[in-house]
Structure 1
Amino acid sequence: MTNELDPKREAQTAVDTPLFSGLPGDINASFEFFPPKTEKMEAKLWDAVQELKPLDPSFVSVTYGAGGSTRERTHNTVARIIKEAQMPAAAHLTCVDASKAEIREVAEHYWEAGVRHIVALRGDMGEPGAPFVPHPDGYANAAELVSGLKEIADFEISVAAYPETHPDADCPQSDLDNLKRKLDAGATRAISQFFFSADKFFRFQDAAAAKGITAPLLPGILPVTNVAQARKFAGACGAEIPAWMDGLFDGLDERPASRQLVAATVAAELCRRLYAGGVRDFHFYTLNRADLAYAICHMLGMRPKGDAQ
């Protein structure tokens, strides 16, 4: 195999219309954060929220882990975003280590705090590869959680989707069956795990449509600045880190600014390919950083609301 490039193809690429020229900004974006553990992290998160707010996101979401302290941090973060930033905020909620009564209590507190949108997930046990074990008095899966939440209050509910198949699924078809159960239980939309091939997402869309799934499927976009960290995330959710990405980040371990530029370029190109295929709603995994997500949205034509276009 050779690494030589096709001169004719490269010449055509050089004179084609720039990928990002003239885009009208007709997209919607949502952003995911995780609850801060320290005052310094909270300040960083709040800076990110404030930087992304002018883009008028469809919603922002805050992740959630098992355990009381994490639940409290998620609740406080979501409540602050709603109250102070006045942005639509969704709280993540999982089945892990929680009885139905505990989940009801958490959900009711969310409703009282003004939360109307829940990202309902089965969740993982914490250790990579550890099998999910339902709480004896809890929900067995995300579809049951969705049904339970709908009985508690009229939440808008998002669920997870897996373009490259969840590691616990027997096959892609059974994974799609599970997605359909979650949506049929009352979920409004599905947010995908991150991926790095537009073609894989388009194939997933087609397979979902063939299953009769008509709910919106939002692609989850992860701008990668740390390949090792991304590989760890990918191992937990069944995503593939392509070999070419390793090559792009090789030699940049001690060059954070260069890593960011590469990360923004890779993610923006993925979003542009998705846009060309008709995608207009994007969900960004920010890792509590606004700069990369903001830059990508800007390249896709989004501008702060009220600014001159």
Structure 2
Amino acid sequence: MRIDEIIERSPEPTFSFEFFPPKTDEAEARLHETLETLRPMDPSFVSVTYGAGGSSRDRTINVVKSLREQHGLEAMAHLTCVGGTKDDIRGVLGQIREAGIHNVLALRGDPPGGEERFSPTPGGFASSPELTQLITDEFDFCVGGAAYPEPHPDARHADDDVETAKAKVEAGAKFLITQLFYDNADYFSFVRRLREIGVDVPVIPEIMPITQISQVRGFAKKIGARVPEGLSRELDAREDDPDAIKDFGVSYATLQASELLANGAPGIHFITMNRSPATRAILSALRLHRPWEKTPEAPAEPGDVVAPA
């Protein structure tokens, strides 16, 4: 089923999970164990990432196919512009179609390891709107795009991320999934700016439950995300207690998601890191609390305190 139809028909917010392709037999077994644990949570859909330079292309397709056929989950394949010509990518899209997959997340992709900036592959695509346009013109997929509530590291100016998101939608993207962020004000501001320029597709916020200090700071550095001062302080206070960090991370993500849903976010996309405990705890709490049924508060402005600190 197409994800745009899932979102449109869902009577409540959608909850979805992101996985990455395992590299070893042991990791694959752990992924299937995680899937069996999370399947009773009834996700609206799941997605599978695509390695830098297309390094996990075949594994991505195989995992997405397995998610559909073995686990009964509606799955989406990530696809990047990196490491392939336009004809190469047409071939990958053909494989995805033959695997019975209906949904693709079209991404520019990160530079391959060792490279600081993205360079188009000769004969390939220079941007995700170009990739989205090709998919829309030549294939019958539901296409999603990435969105950046905080400036993308390669953003050329203050409005670049909003303009790029609009270009993706004009090229055929039916929904957007944000990069992870730790301050909800950035999401609310970004969505407001999109609406002001006529972009009306669903914008699903992405959340990664914090389980390790090095993890949150590593991701933040890579994507240019801010770690609010209060969050950083509370993590530092628990740096010698891994279990306390996990407990705090679940609490922070639950309250962050609650505020997003109470103020109109169409769902939450969880980065699972191929593990289940944190995601299960957060989603269970959200479904019990049902914040989307509460009276919404005025969305916060950038710099306000919008999640526990």
Q: Does TM, scored on the shorter chain, surpass 0.5?
A: yes
For 2:102 and 2:42, locate their aligned partners in 1 and report how far apart those are by CA, in whole Å.
Answer: 18
Task: Give the structure 2 partner of residue 186 of structure 1.
Answer: 172
For 2:24 and 2:57, locate their aligned partners in 1 and report how far apart those are by CA, in whole Å.
Answer: 15
Task: Give the structure 2 partner of residue 13 of structure 1.
Answer: none
For 1:260 and 1:51, locate their aligned partners in 2 and report how far apart those are by CA, in whole Å.
Answer: 19
CA contact (8 A) 2:179 2:206 kept: yes
> Is the counterpart of residue 240 in structure 1 residue 240 in structure 2?
no
Give the match's secondary structure for 2:18. strand
> Is the counterpart of residue 37 in structure 1 residue 23 in structure 2?
yes
CA contact (8 A) 2:53 2:111 kept: no
Asked which structure has the greater CA Rg, the reply is 1
Task: Give the structure 2 partner of residue 65 of structure 1.
Answer: 51
CA contact (8 A) 1:108 1:152 kept: no
For 1:55 and 1:64, locate their aligned partners in 2 and report how far apart those are by CA, in whole Å.
Answer: 24
Taking structure 1 as reference, are residues 175 and 88 closer, same or farther at Cα in structure 2, changes over 3 Å only? same
For 1:213 and 1:90, locate their aligned partners in 2 and report how far apart those are by CA, in whole Å.
Answer: 22
Taking structure 1 as reference, are residues 61 and 77 closer, same or farther at Cα in structure 2, changes over 3 Å only? same
> Is the counterpart of residue 100 in structure 1 residue 86 in structure 2?
yes
CA contact (8 A) 2:82 2:121 kept: yes
Give, as a single letter, the amino acid of the residue that structure 2 aligns with 1:262: F
TM-score in terms of structure 2 length:
0.85
Task: Give the structure 1 partner of residue 298 of structure 2.
Answer: none
Shift of 1:39: 1.3
Task: Give the structure 2 partner of residue 283 of structure 1.
Answer: 269
Superposed, 1:1-309 pairs within 5 Å as 26-67=12-53, 69-127=55-113, 130-250=116-236, 252-253=238-239, 255-301=241-287
RMSD value, Cα? 1.9
Runs of 4+ in 1 over 6 A off after TM superposition: none
Give the match's secondary structure for 2:69. helix
Structure 1: runs of 5+ lacking an equivalent: 1-24, 304-309
1:81-101 Cα distance to aligned partner (Å, 9 max, x none) = 111011110011000111011
Q: How many residues align?
A: 279
Give, as a single letter, the amino acid of the residue that structure 2 aligns with 1:267: A
For 2:55 and 2:26, locate their aligned partners in 1 and report how far apart those are by CA, in whole Å.
Answer: 17
For 1:106 and 1:284, locate their aligned partners in 2 and report how far apart those are by CA, in whole Å.
Answer: 26
Moved more, 261-270 or 126-135: 126-135
Structure 2: runs of 5+ lacking an equivalent: 1-10, 290-309
1:93-126 Cα distance to aligned partner (Å, 9 max, x none) = 0001110111111111111011110111001113
